[in-house]
Amino acid sequence: MINKLVSTGNALLTFPGRTAKRFPVQVTAVIAALILGTGGAAFAVAALGPDASELPVHQVLESVPTLPLNAATDLNIQSFDLFRSDVTRSSDTADTLLGRLGVDDAAAAAFIRSNALARQALLGRSGRNVTAETGDNNSLVKLSARWSPEDNGNFNRLVIEKTASGFQSRIEVAALSASTRLASGTIQNSLFGATDEARIPDSVATQLSEIFSGDIDFHRALRRGDRFSIVYETLEGDGEPLRAGRILSAEFVNNGKTFQAMWFQDPAAGTGSAPMSTGSRTADSRSKGGYYTLDGQSMRRAFLASPMEFSRITSGFGMRFHPILQTARAHQGVDYGAPIGTPVRSVGDAVVDFAGVQNGYGNIIILKHRNNYKTVYAHLSRINVRKGANVSQGQVIGAVGATGWATGPHLHFEYRINGVYRDPAAVSRQAESVPVAASSRSAFARLAAENRIALAAAASLQQSGAD
Ligand SMILES: [Zn+2]
């Protein structure tokens, strides 16, 4: 059972270049249904995905439902050799794309070059799933491509079909279907290295770091051997993952300490503010849910552990830059290596105490929080706020630079409590947790029990995978 789950996970999470052998989709859907029950998670869409900013639809001829899973499965397995799937690349020409799809058909290539719908949907774009059906001599019978340009629950499907009078194209619109995925990994060198290995989309990796951002400074505190397990939503079109959705629950073991979190939409919270959103612009501000520990405490803290959002860029940059700066003996603060221009965010709600230039600090912002807490952000290339302004936790206040006495682009960050420097990691861990409302506790407990099972299943993926 577990082995089957492993191979299923691997097959499922493969994005590019795979053939159209799809039956694992069904297996996993069944497993997920068993684990999560039916009423578990609400359908949720996050504004993620590789081409969220792509072109709008140019022409809509008809609306059709998503292919039923069984139909797609049977079709592809019976005529396995005739179907091939790949992903578009921005450098693609009609010939290179068809070539990867095993199509050898000059008329089809000419059609793609000359037909507006086909050209716009396929050429000069990266990351679109394309499936080709070929006939005799690798001629093209039918080609379809899927993408989800907007966060509206739908996806577009380009269909090119050979007819008696030559090739024809059309664009269809169909509904995305949500499925739940389990993933897990162990960190060897970086979080993104581990999520790449587990074929987890970047947007999900970023959500993971945001969910635990009150507990773990992902720029500085990660250790080799740290482990994570994630249960998250994927939005699919024709069985292909087109958008990453929200993390439903997650576990992170950092330096031997286990943290767990789950998404919960508190019915008692009404239209109040969310305890903690997914943290980034991708957060779904329309719903009032938030992340909680499985014991029912909000994951939100008075302070974030890091003044920069964790990303592939900051992660890679910091790894190289960090050791050089740590040699400064009397250094009171934490340095984050990052490219110039990387957004800097307030770690907590505050009033701007100072925004301007100070000798060695270069461009510097000092924020004043409650209880005589201050935070310092120095060497900035840009300052977005003015003295006296109110800023909220997570708000972008400036950008990384190399002003003042900086040996290279980095953010110098300090906590000062009553004027005395403090270790940021220790400060951010001081939790100000908000519990789930009493009236929601039974609903919360039910969902938490489901999430415990799902997380255990996700963790078992990896353990058996390591054998
Ligand atoms: Zn410094």
Distance CA 50, CA 56 (A): 14
Mean pLDDT over 159-188 rounds to 94
Residue whose C-alpha is closest to residue 191's, from 338, 315, 317:
315
Distance (Å) from CA 137 to ligand 1 centroid: 65
CA 162 – ligand 1 centroid, Å:
64
Evaluate if residue 238 carries a pLDDT over 60: yes
The listed range with the strongest mean pLDDT (1-5, 31-35, 72-76, 259-263) is 259-263
Cβ atoms of 266 and 439 within 8 Å: the answer is: no
Distance from C-alpha of 285 to C-alpha of 430, rounded to nearest angstrom: 26
Distance 375 CA to ligand 1 centre (A): 13
Give distance in angstroms: CA of 334 to centre of ligand 1: 6
Residue 230 confidence (pLDDT) above 90? yes
How far is it, in rounded angstroms, from Cα 350 to Cα 348? 6
Q: Side-chain half-sphere of 264: how many Cα atoms within 13 Å?
A: 33
CB-count burial class (<10 Å; 0-12, 13-18, 19+) for 312? middle
What's the half-sphere exposure (Cβ side, CA atoms, 13 Å) at 319? 14
Q: How far is the CA of 419 from the centre of ligand 1 (A)?
A: 17
CA of 215 to the centre of ligand 1 (A): 22
* Cα 308 to ligand 1 centre (Å): 15
pTM, rounded to two decimals: 0.65
Rounded to a whole number of angstroms, the CA Rg of the chain reads 25
Cα-to-centroid distance, 307 and ligand 1 (Å)? 13
Q: Measure the CA–CA gap between 372 and 212, rounded to whole angstroms.
A: 25
266-311 per-position pLDDT tens digit: 776 554 444 444 333 333 333 468 899 999 888 888 888 889 988 8
**How many angstroms separate the alpha carbon of residue 148 from the centre of ligand 1?**
43
Residue type, 456: A
Ligand 1 centroid to Cα of residue 328, in Å, is 8
Residues 146-162 pLDDT 10s: 999 888 889 999 999 99
379 C-alpha to center of ligand 1: Å? 9
Distance 303 CA to ligand 1 centre (A): 20
Distance 335 CA to ligand 1 centre (A): 5
Written as six digits, the tokens of 143 are 């080609």
Helices 23-36 and 441-465: crossing angle in degrees, nearest 10, is 140
CA of 395 to the centre of ligand 1 (A): 21
Could you tell me the distance, in angstroms and rounded to a whole number, from the CA of residue 402 to the centre of ligand 1?
A: 11
Find the 89 Cα to ligand 1 centroid distance in Å. 41
Distance between Cα 346 and ligand 1 center (Å): 17
Mean pLDDT of the chain: 77
Closest CA to 234 of 443, 462, 32: 32
Task: Determine the pLDDT at residue 189.
Answer: 85
